[in-house]
Amino acid sequence: MSIKTTIEKKLADAFEPERLEVINESHLHAGHHHVESGHQMTFDGTGETHFRVRIVSPAFAGMSRVERHRAVNDLLTPELKAGLHALAIEPAAPGEKTRW
């Protein structure tokens, strides 16, 4: 199963969102530098390492922005530990304005 599919399933199961979009943005980061296992690496833009999550869920009602981010990050900790390098999170509760 791809990382994208895993992320989508985990978010759908945990938050029952009204809207969910998981976007692989790895290609946008080609040429960027990062440290992996203590070594400076140049990212080639392939694979599934950088994602943007856009999610609207009733579960976020009454939560602060930080609490929402923490909830998503906590859920995806195994993926982050396994090589997911970056995760941009755009969470909202129903009725809140989104930029997307």
For residue 53, the 8-state DSSP code is: E
Mean pLDDT along residues 58-64: 98
The highest-level CATH class for domain 3-92 is: alpha beta
Tokens 């195994």 sit at which residue? 78
Categorize the per-residue pLDDT at 90 as very low, low, confident or very high, splitting at 50, 70 and 90. Answer: very high
Pairing of strands 19-24, 50-56: antiparallel
CA 29 – CA 92 distance, rounded (Å): 26
CA of residue 86 relative to chain centroid, distance: 7
pTM of the full structure: 0.81
* Residue ranges with strand state E in 27-77: 33-36, 39-42, 50-56
Checking if the pLDDT of 66 tops 90, the result is yes
Task: Select the more confidently predicted residue: 40 or 59.
Answer: 59
CA 84 – CA 9 distance, rounded (Å): 16
Closest residue by Cα to residue 83 from 30, 28, 46: 46
Checking if the pLDDT of 92 tops 70, the result is yes
Secondary structure tally for the chain: helices H, strands E: 3, 5
